[in-house]
Amino acid sequence: MIPQPALDLLHDTADTQVWPHETPPSHKELTQIASQMDGLLINIMDRIDSKLLDAAPRLRTISQMAAGLDNVDLASATQRKIPIGYTPGVVSEATADQAFALLLSAARLLTQS
C-alpha cells in the first residue's frame, strides 16, 4: 500500500492511476496496464520482465517501493534505457533491531513456558 501523502504528491505532479484492489495485479493485468503507462511505481509483488517491457513501449521509468530488485529484469530494463529507482537500506535498522530482539529472546528463553 502506498501511503496517502505519497499519493497526494504524485497526484499533484503527474497523471496517476492507482491499482484499486487489495491484492496485487496478476502479471497479465500488470502487463496490460503497463502498455499504456509512461512510468510505474511498483512493489516487490510486481514482476517486471522482458515480456512486460516489450508490451510497454511508452515506459520511461520504473520505481520500486522496496529495498530489493529481485522482481525486476534489470538487464532488459537497461537494454531499453529505462531507469529503475528503489530504496536501498530502507529497512536496515529495523532488520537489525528484529535480529537483536530474536537473539535476546533466544538467549533468555523468553518463548519457553
Q: Could you read off the pLDDT of 4-33 as tens digits, one per residue?
A: 998 999 999 999 999 999 899 999 999 999
Under DSSP, the state recorded for 22 is S
Confidence (pLDDT) at 21: 93
Nearest to 37 by CA among 13, 15, 11: 15
Nearest to 84 by CA among 32, 33, 46, 111: 46
CATH topology of domain 4-107: Rossmann fold (3.40.50)
Pairing mode, if any, of strands 39-42 and 84-85? unpaired
pTM summary value? 0.78
Q: Could you read off the pLDDT of 53-108 as tens digits, one per residue?
A: 999 999 999 999 888 899 999 999 999 999 999 988 888 888 899 999 999 999 98
